[in-house]
A and B are shown apart, each in its own frame.
Chain A
Amino acid sequence: DIQMTQSPSTLSASVGDRVTITCRASQSISSWLAWYQQKPGKAPKLLIYKVSSLESGVPSRFSGSGAGTEFTLTISSLQPDDFGTYYCQQYNSWTFGQGTKVEVK
């Protein structure tokens, strides 16, 4: 089974900060990598698919990069609506990372 490891688990940041979350796969997953945002009590929302493709309607301050086993989600300038928990997912066999909570510093 492919394991996905996110870091950090928690990230404290301020509005306007540049935020980076890393996701590592236990083996190469090609480009089958997505990022989701989840707010408390809500369903996850797709942000990025195929490593770097922005889902329709998602602000351009979100971007994804990486290849093989190491991937990154970047928020260029954190906005108040961006606080929440972020998950990576490899969708060759659909494993999620453990999540990264982005909280107010």
Chain B
Amino acid sequence: EVQLVESGGGLVQPGRSLRLSCAASGFTLDNYAMHWVRQAPGKGLEWVSGISWDSGRIGYADSVKGRFTISRDNANNSLHLQMNSLRLEDTAVYYCAKADGYIEAFDYWGQGTLVTVSS
């Protein structure tokens, strides 16, 4: 059974950093592209970042470019999102999601981890 489990969320002050992780099981991570999607409280879905199976292609939303870094550790079946210079508007539930390819729909999602940026 495919499972994605996010961790690392929490309460953080503006300007500080946080690192999210996504542990994958039930499939071999290195065959698939992976993405981060966030959802602010009461709002819609916003794509944050994506990475191809071999890390050869990486993309970021304009809202996080230069502040967030996506990475993956295929040997340990995990995905990461390093978030620096956090802002109040980064407050959201962050989901990791799996895709068959870099330009494909997201067929499995984790349950999400909440990041709250507040002073």
Judged by DSSP, the binding face of A is loop
Expressed in whole angstroms, the minimum distance between the Cβ of A101 and any Cβ of chain B is 10
Total cross-chain contacts (CB, 8 A): 54
A43 contacts B105, C-beta separation under 8 Å: no
A96 contacts B46, C-beta separation under 8 Å: yes
Chain A residues closer than 8 Å to B106, beta-carbon distance: 34, 36, 44, 46, 89, 91
Judged by DSSP, the binding face of B is strand
Across the two chains, which residue of chain B brings its CB closest to A35?
B105
- B1 CB within 8 Å of chain A: no
Tier of interface size on chain B: 20 to 34
CA distance A13 to B86 in the complex (A): 40
Tier of interface size on chain A: 20 to 34
B103 contacts A46, C-beta separation under 8 Å: no
B residues within 8 Å of A by Cβ? 35, 37, 44-47, 50, 59, 62, 95, 99, 103-107, 109-112
